[in-house]
Structure 1
Amino acid sequence: MESQLSQLSQSALIEFGPAPLTIKQVNAIAAGARVSLSDCPEVRQRLQRSADLLDTLLQQDGEIYGVTTGYGDSCTVTIPDELVQELPLHLTRFHGCGMGRHFDETQGRAILAARLASLCIGRSGVSIALLERMVEMLNHGVIPRIPEEGSVGASGDLTPLSYIAAALVGEREVYYQGQIRETQDVYAELGWQPLVLRPKEGLALMNGTAVMTAVACEAYSRADYLARLCARLTALCSLALKGNPYHFDPVLFEAKPHPGQAQIADWIYQDLGGNDGNPNPPRLQDRYSLRCAPHVIGVLADALPFLRQTIETELNSANDNPIIDGDAGRILHGGHFYGGHIAFAMDSLKNAVANLADLMDRQLAHLVDTKFNNGLPRNLSASTGERAPINHGFKAVQIGASAWTAEALKQTMPASVFSRSTECHNQDKVSMGTISARDALRVLTLTEQVASALLLASYQALTLRQRQEGGLALTAGIAGLTDQVASEFDLVIEDRPLEQSLRHTLMGIQQGRWEVPQWQ
């Protein structure tokens, strides 16, 4: 995954305007890809018509929410003509109250890209100059430093997105050249002038779903990789436990033809060498964590196409308010800032991913337990002879994996059901989409930690099994993965702290570095 993103980030510019943006492109921009605003006359004219309509209505004393009125419940407050130009700046400033940890630089790049994609639809009334500055920020690595907490997901990600607006006017902090800097100082070095936001531009920047959508793009790609890794780790565990390959026979999955589930089963089946993998398994039916693995992983695999469609539709939508229809000459007041689709997608994704943690935790528990591991050493210790009694192998790693799994499962409560009434009961039904997306990242990290433990433990288990059996014929997929692990991890013979090995393995998972099957 990382190599693919790296290649994409080094390829041609990713262009905003003429075509929908994809999850892969957002993640490539997060990884450093350069971008451009389309020079296509049709795109430029569409953007200009939207901005021109706003100017025309202002000249005609038209009433426009957030332009000639206050915000939210204050929409009944008329803004005097002489203060209209100052209103956007005030919006950016009073929302500067984010808390908690900050999104990192790559996430900040993704958020900036997601907001740019929405504004380039041409229904937000912003100037081309503003869009070009956002492009410059991405290409020069001037990335707003955005706190994670403070959004209820409607009216969009107001508070976190205010940090993009603030950076555009030269305020607050940015990431730049590996440092956290005052925006005004970076602008001075680059010779940039802070923008003066036009009417509606503060609202257009902030009143949308870019934060939750950018986070969802990251979550989707990590979940996609985890599904494939989990399939391969299941095959590794089945080999180590002398499991029954017949559980994954393609004919069996023709009887229950969920396509993602069938693909997961086929990957496991092929990694096991088909029915030649273990023609005489010790058990007619393996325990559920092996036998039902395609059914568990398959839920996520079958959800991925829907999740991708939902995220990319949101990514390529005009999701602020009001909508400025320059073609029809209309201002339409609505609720496109509501993040319900992303909230549902992320609540669903974190549920499916946490089930992978639970599955892998059970597989690991079987590997270390002599009651279930078909003759492997206790706790997978490779120590023998007189020193065997004092060595405990993966005992503590299994405890840790259980803790990470429990925390992942605890996080699966849907955030979207915790709507709160805010802002004088104007925002009285909100999506909580950003909280859901952040939850999804936490569940992914915990599940990736479980996967890192299982990867090392199943490698150790298979190595010990090969010693018992005098060597096993491994398929290309399994051999490729185990060779990778062997080049970076020494068998645990004498007890040693495994934290750094686990962290290194986890980093490989998050970078998509370990060999996994590819979607067909």
Structure 2
Amino acid sequence: MTPTSGSALAIDGSPLKLSEIETIANGFSKVTLMPAARERVKASRTVIESILASGETVYGVNTGFGKLADVRIPAEHLADLQTNLVRSHAAGVGEPLSEAESRAMLLLRANVLAKGCSGVRPEILDLLLAMLNAGVHPVIPARGSVGASGDLAPLSHLALVLIGEGEAIYRGQRISGAQALSLAGLSPVQLAAKEGLALLNGTQAMTAVGALTTRYAQCLAAIADLAGAMSLEALKGTPAAFDSRIHAARPHPGQIASAANLERLLENSSIRESHRSAAVDSRVQDAYCLRCMPQVHGAVRGVLDHVAHILEVESGSATDNPLIFANSGATLPKVVSGGNFHGAPLSYAFDYASIALTDLASISERRIDRLINPDINEGLPAFLTANAGLSSGYMIAHVTAAALLNECKVLAHPSSTDSVPTSGGKEDHVSMGMTGALKLRQIVDNLEKILAIEILCAAQGLDFRLPLRPGPAVAEAHTRIRALVPHLNEDRSPAPDIEAISKAIRNGQLTE
């Protein structure tokens, strides 16, 4: 567990929990560097200084980069080499990452440099943390990374602010990097040998986006249980399929957790009691979208737990090149080139999560259809409106869910199976991990909206079951929803209602 000092998070290069990344990204908690980490950073810098003093040729220290690695750079131009590297690689395009994602990048980059394998001076880490603590957030275009040699373009835009260039958001204003540093009482650094490369080589953009997205996706997996429980009640379904004995016989942890959550949500329901006997309800089993919620929702939980583990490992991994091993024995080289910047572990994980979350969106959409479709909605009014024909009710809200689901299905196509050679063929196999992270983020945003639509429809269905009431947990959720969105008595635009429930999901109002 990462040590903390008071309300501050103390980093030392060890893996960070997704919850810690989220806390720093979404708030302004202080981050400090542990003394032992500072000493490791100093030791790795001593190795670089020794190389410079000896005149030895080492990639990234006194050579060009990529295809130009064979070009030796004279000592008097080494500072210019690092600055030029940052400037030339800041080729990102498109909308900027959010401030939370920018903060996560600052935290993650500082943490991996704190491992002491990168050869930077402590001043570099000090400025990264000072920017984080002061709220200086680099403007980082979202697109331009192929995920090897890491997230070069996004990290270059971050590094620009450290040298007093680029742009940053400071106290809500988008201004020049130099101005943001000045207003925060900070000074830019002059990069020394190896430091530009150490800031650029890494997977921190895809890790930042992926970590925050996965953390939220885990919340949505719990919301899916709530939405499904509400739908089951509105459709007069049975919770029999959530019997713990069933799931103990197939003991996937996520499935067991989801089934237990659904059982809890559905306890003590008067709706259930109203149709328990065969004389009242001739159905033997519910449709799969209701009966198989533990199997599907639980499998998604398992996927997200696996992806979270990968991200947490990455948060404490040295991902630049070359790496410095200051404490190596006399017979081993202290500077070794490798490929830890390759984003394959993350890229595969993001594609895996995208597939699972798209299926979670799919099962939710099927429940929406059952709620509004008069052929299968167990006696609820067509499209959940009392005046079907004159009113369309939630007909087009379902169409919106279908459109979002289609987009998810397109985005679930793997990006990790593609590779475009770059850098004159030197970097001939890349991960496309940042593409995977951005796709995953969009899928999660779409999933949130689909679940919001299901919750709206399920709440409307529960209204039509009165005076019968669901179990206390679902009833409490229904009360919270009705405090935000009234019953649909006659047609109105569903868009504000969808956004109101989406916001409640994001704010955690429906998580408990």
TM-score, reference length from structure 2: 0.94
> Where does residue 403 of structure 2 map in the other structure?
403
> Where does residue 23 of structure 2 map in the other structure?
28
> Deviations for 1:58-103, whole angstroms, at most 9, x for unmatched residues?
1111222112110011111111121112111000111121111110
Give the Å deviation of 1:213: 0.5
Give the Å deviation of 1:376: 0.3
CA change 1:245–1:191 in 2 (3 A) is: closer
Q: Does residue 1:271 correspond to 2:275, yes or no? A: no
> Where does residue 447 of structure 1 map in the other structure?
447
CA change 1:335–1:493 in 2 (3 A) is: same
> Where does residue 361 of structure 1 map in the other structure?
365
Give the Å deviation of 1:10: 13
Within 2, Cα distance between the matches of 1:408 and 1:74? 40
**Partners of 1:382 and 1:491 within 8 A in 2:** no
**Partners of 1:245 and 1:275 within 8 A in 2:** no
> Where does residue 509 of structure 1 map in the other structure?
505
**Partners of 2:290 and 2:367 within 8 A in 1:** yes
Within 2, Cα distance between the matches of 1:275 and 1:512? 24
> Where does residue 100 of structure 1 map in the other structure?
94
Instruction: Please give the secondary structure, in 2, of the residue aligned with 1:417.
Output: coil
Within 1, Cα distance between the matches of 2:323 and 2:317? 11
Give the Å deviation of 1:282: 4.2
Equivalences for 1:283-322 in 2 at 5 Å? 283-322=283-322
The partner residue of 2:468 within 471, 491, 500 is 471
- More displaced, 12-21 or 132-141? 12-21
> Where does residue 234 of structure 2 map in the other structure?
240
> Deviations for 1:336-393, whole angstroms, at most 9, x for unmatched residues?
000111111111111111111100100000000111111001100144xxxx541111
The partner residue of 1:341 within 321, 345, 364 is 345
Give the Å deviation of 1:191: 4.0
Give the Å deviation of 1:193: 2.4
> Deviations for 1:152-204, whole angstroms, at most 9, x for unmatched residues?
00000001100111000000100001010111222333443220011111111
CA change 1:282–1:275 in 2 (3 A) is: farther
> Where does residue 5 of structure 1 map in the other structure?
none
> Where does residue 183 of structure 1 map in the other structure?
177
**Partners of 2:266 and 2:473 within 8 A in 1:** no
Q: Does residue 1:378 correspond to 2:382, yes or no? A: yes
Give the Å deviation of 1:19: 4.5
Runs of 5+ consecutive residues of structure 1 not aligned to the other structure: 1-8
CA change 1:437–1:11 in 2 (3 A) is: farther
CA change 1:19–1:71 in 2 (3 A) is: closer
> Deviations for 1:403-436, whole angstroms, at most 9, x for unmatched residues?
1111111110111001111111111111111110
**Partners of 2:45 and 2:121 within 8 A in 1:** yes
Give the Å deviation of 1:34: 2.4
Instruction: Please give the secondary structure, in 2, of the residue aligned with 1:424.
Output: helix
Give the Å deviation of 1:117: 1.2
Q: Does residue 1:134 correspond to 2:131, yes or no? A: no
Q: Does residue 1:498 correspond to 2:494, yes or no? A: yes
Partner amino acid for 1:16?
Answer: I
Within 1, Cα distance between the matches of 2:88 and 2:360? 42
Q: Does residue 1:15 correspond to 2:10, yes or no? A: yes
Partner amino acid for 1:509?
Answer: I
CA change 1:511–1:132 in 2 (3 A) is: same
User: What's the RMSD between the two structures over aligned residues?
Assistant: 1.7
> Where does residue 61 of structure 1 map in the other structure?
55
> Deviations for 1:230-286, whole angstroms, at most 9, x for unmatched residues?
011111111110112111111111222111112111211222227984423441111
Within 2, Cα distance between the matches of 1:391 and 1:35? 54
CA change 1:240–1:191 in 2 (3 A) is: closer
Equivalences for 1:41-60 in 2 at 5 Å? 42-60=36-54
CA change 1:189–1:256 in 2 (3 A) is: closer
> Deviations for 1:462-515, whole angstroms, at most 9, x for unmatched residues?
11112xxx322x333212211110111100011001111111211222233313
Q: Does residue 1:193 correspond to 2:187, yes or no? A: yes
Within 2, Cα distance between the matches of 1:75 and 1:126? 20
Runs of 5+ consecutive residues of structure 2 not aligned to the other structure: none
Q: Does residue 1:481 correspond to 2:485, yes or no? A: no
Within 2, Cα distance between the matches of 1:300 and 1:457? 23
Partner amino acid for 2:445?
Answer: T
> Where does residue 6 of structure 1 map in the other structure?
none
Partner amino acid for 1:295?
Answer: Q
**Partners of 1:244 and 1:283 within 8 A in 2:** no
Instruction: Please give the secondary structure, in 2, of the residue aligned with 1:76.
Output: coil
Moved over 4 A (4+): none
Identity of aligned residues (%): 32
Instruction: Please give the secondary structure, in 2, of the residue aligned with 1:91.
Output: helix
**Partners of 2:147 and 2:342 within 8 A in 1:** yes
**Partners of 1:380 and 1:394 within 8 A in 2:** yes
Q: Does residue 1:228 correspond to 2:248, yes or no? A: no
Instruction: Please give the secondary structure, in 1, of the residue aligned with 2:298.
Output: helix
CA change 1:190–1:367 in 2 (3 A) is: closer
The partner residue of 1:258 within 245, 252, 257 is 252
Within 2, Cα distance between the matches of 1:515 and 1:482? 13
Instruction: Please give the secondary structure, in 1, of the residue aligned with 2:484.
Output: coil
CA change 1:448–1:191 in 2 (3 A) is: closer
- More displaced, 312-321 or 261-270? 261-270
Within 2, Cα distance between the matches of 1:164 and 1:146? 6
Instruction: Please give the secondary structure, in 2, of the residue aligned with 1:180.
Output: strand
Give the Å deviation of 1:44: 1.9
Instruction: Please give the secondary structure, in 1, of the residue aligned with 2:145.
Output: coil
Partner amino acid for 2:468?
Answer: G
CA change 1:333–1:18 in 2 (3 A) is: closer
The partner residue of 1:352 within 356, 360, 374 is 356
